[in-house]
Amino acid sequence: MTDMDIPVADMTTPLGRAIAFIWREAELLDNKDYDAWGALWAEDGHYVVPIDPDTDDFESQLNYAYDDARMRRLRIERFTSGHSMSAADSARTIRTVSRFSLVGIDNDLVEVRSAQLLAAHKRGTTTLFAANLTHRVRLLPGGALLDRKVVRLINSQEALNALGFLL
């Protein structure tokens, strides 16, 4: 066995498969590969960035993002069309996702909590975003789909700027 043979996650367990999926999602976002990121999602999945850090009632609360499939497609179109000023000069980002814990497994649905540090660099300024993440991943025989992602920023109740990217 060489160092190149060491698996990044234990792909024999649901948690390991979900962790590998979450790392892949982070890589796609850092590479601004939004079309590939959009393909990760289940059609009925939701991407949520709530303002209230304690709420689970996203539908009736004000959120930074509460995107269904249509809103994700519009967001991706805005990021890739070149017509949005924030997307045309978007920040370069690096995400680190760690501290994984298994919330639960229900048939093919795996829910995982983790921590994310995101460094965004734009126009000579680097900004750090910290968040608790919750991913619900559908592990299917042919791959995985993202059912829900909730990004709970630690400073979500303060004024935020420079969010011209997905968290």
| pTM of the shown model | 0.90
User: Can you list the pairs that 112-116 forms with residues at least 24 positions away whose Cβ atoms lie under 8 Å?
Assistant: 112/15, 112/18, 112/19, 112/22, 112/137, 114/22, 116/26, 116/151, 116/167
Q: Give tens-digit pLDDT for 110-163.
A: 999 999 999 999 989 999 999 999 999 999 999 999 999 999 999 999 887 767
Residue 82 lies in a domain: yes
Q: Considering its fold, how many domains does the chain have in total?
A: 1
Q: Give the structural domain span for 116.
A: 14-153
What residues contact 111, with CB distance under 8 A and at least 6 apart?
102, 103, 104, 105, 134, 135, 136, 137
Residue 1 lies in a domain: no
Judged on CB neighbours under 10 Å (0-12, 13-18, 19+), 115 is middle
Residue 6 lies in a domain: no
The tokens describing 68, both together, are 């269904």
Choose between 129 and 164: higher pLDDT.
Answer: 129
